[in-house]
């Protein structure tokens, strides 16, 4: 592609700052490959396979040590089998309205990376999906960082929650309940500064073969809780029992609730604590 073509592409289409879409990917390195996987992802893939792509403007990696894995629930999860599977979580923001453009690029670059031997095969995708932004609920109203700052702000932890509604129509009811009642009440006085809510979108048919098609496209919601304190310090008072509250509302069930802490880029911190 010539420089003139790049200039033409830059002159058209949306270019706002809102995170209209996200890539949320939970991965389990195979036993014995933890250090090699971590170095490949940080030293190569985070950049060449993500941040260097058009319209992907923020990204951050998170890790679940064994101690954090054991806090997850429910024990029988439709997301992770066993529920402790998935050590590393990466989250990326995409510019609103640019999902299709980004996908054309990402499919192409991942084919090239695979051909060039730059894809680490000794890993399993536990939960990988592009998702569309549905809502952000803030604890402090207009004060504090916005959702487009969330992956750059030094949050101390993240909780990933996946809720399965009873059906497509119930998902709309579930979203309305989360936005207006459940999340504002749970956020008040908590260490969570905001919750972003997404719904998964199907992966393209020409996706890489090692990434399975997304399930629950019409029924699931994915929530990201951004925490100002270490989740190990606040898990019991703040996050246990969320599944019961969702079930009591009669709108769905929590299929995955999992805490993470941020990785320290350029290091192998926490790798020895995964098993």
- DSSP secondary structure, 184-241, as one string: HHHHTTSSEEEEEEEEE-PPPTTS-TTSPPPS-TTTEEEEEEEESS-HHHHHHHHHTT
pLDDT of residue 207: 56
**Kind and range of the H or E element at 5?**
helix 3-10
Indicate the domain borders of the chain. Answer: 16-262
> What letter does residue 30 receive in the DSSP assignment?
P
pLDDT of residue 121: 95
- Picking from 46, 48, 134, 44, the residue whose alpha carbon sits closest to that of residue 88 is 46
**Kind and range of the H or E element at 173?**
helix 168-177
Q: Report the alpha-carbon distance of residue 33 to residue 199 in Å, rounded.
A: 31
For the chain, strand residue ranges (E) read 19-29, 56-63, 88-95, 123-138, 157-165, 192-200, 220-227, 252-262
Q: What average pLDDT score do residues 164-176 get? A: 94
Q: pLDDT at residue 200 above 80?
A: yes
Q: Encode pLDDT of 92-127 as tens digits.
A: 999 999 999 999 999 999 999 999 999 999 999 999
Q: What average pLDDT score do residues 40-44 get? A: 97
pLDDT of residue 1: 56
Pairing label, strands 123-138, 192-200: antiparallel
| The most confident of 7-11, 103-107, 155-159, by mean pLDDT | 155-159
Of 267 and 10, more confident: 267
Contact 162, 79 (CB under 8 A): yes
Q: What average pLDDT score do residues 61-83 get? A: 97
Q: What average pLDDT score do residues 19-44 get? A: 98
Q: Is the pTM of this model over 0.85?
A: yes
| Topology annotation, domain 16-262 | Alpha-Beta Plaits (3.30.70)
Q: pLDDT at residue 208 above 90?
A: no
pLDDT of residue 205: 67
- CB 71: neighbour CB atoms within 10 A? 18
76: pLDDT confidence band, cut at 50, 70 and 90? Answer: very high
CA atoms within 13 A on the CB side of 199: 14
Contact 43, 238 (CB under 8 A): no
| Average pLDDT for the chain | 94
Q: What average pLDDT score do residues 248-260 get? A: 96
- What b-and-e string marks burial along 104-138, b requiring 16 or more CB atoms within 10 Å of the CB? eebbebbeebeeeeebbeebeebbbbbbebbbbbb
In angstroms, the Cα distances linking 104 to 26, 107, 118, 180, 185 are 22, 6, 19, 36, 40
Q: Encode pLDDT of 220-253 as tens digits.
A: 999 999 999 999 999 999 999 999 999 999 999 9
- DSSP secondary structure, 31-46, as one string: TT-HHHHHHHIIIIIH
Q: pLDDT at residue 158 above 60?
A: yes
Q: What average pLDDT score do residues 161-170 get? A: 94
Among 24-38, 66-80, 111-125, 197-211, the least confident range: 197-211
Q: Report the alpha-carbon distance of residue 118 to residue 160 in Å, rounded.
A: 28
Q: What average pLDDT score do residues 78-100 get? A: 97
Contact 92, 59 (CB under 8 A): yes
- Peptide bond preceding 74 in cis form (omega within 30 of 0): yes
pLDDT of residue 209: 61
pLDDT of residue 203: 75
């Amino acid at each position: 592609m010539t420089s003139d073509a790049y200039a033409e592409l830059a002159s058209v289409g949306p270019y706002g700052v809102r995170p209209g879409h996200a890539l949320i990917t939970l991965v389990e390195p195979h036993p014995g490959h933890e250090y090699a996987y971590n170095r490949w992802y940080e030293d190569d893939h985070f950049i060449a396979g993500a941040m260097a792509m058009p319209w992907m403007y923020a990204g951050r990696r998170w890790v679940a040590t064994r101690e954090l894995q054991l806090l997850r629930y429910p024990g029988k999860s439709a997301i992770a089998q066993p529920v402790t599977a998935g050590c590393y979580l990466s989250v990326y923001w995409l510019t609103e309205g640019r999902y299709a453009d980004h996908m054309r690029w990402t499919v192409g670059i991942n084919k090239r990376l695979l051909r060039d031997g730059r894809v680490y095969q000794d890993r399993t995708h536990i939960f990988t999906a592009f998702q569309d932004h549905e809502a952000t609920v803030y604890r402090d109203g207009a004060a504090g960082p916005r959702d487009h700052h969330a992956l750059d702000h030094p949050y101390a932890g993240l909780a990933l929650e996946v809720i399965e509604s009873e059906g497509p129509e119930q998902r709309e009811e579930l979203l309305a309940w989360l936005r207006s009642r459940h999340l504002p009440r749970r956020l008040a006085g908590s260490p969570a500064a905001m919750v972003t809510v997404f719904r998964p979108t199907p992966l393209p048919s020409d996706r890489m073969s090692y990434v399975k098609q997304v399930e629950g496209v019409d029924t699931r919601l994915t929530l990201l809780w951004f925490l100002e304190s270490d989740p190990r310090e606040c898990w019991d008072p703040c996050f246990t029992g969320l599944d019961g509250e969702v079930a009591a509302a009669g709108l769905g069930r929590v299929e995955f609730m999992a805490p993470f802490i941020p990785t320290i880029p350029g290091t192998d911190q926490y790798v020895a604590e995964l098993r």
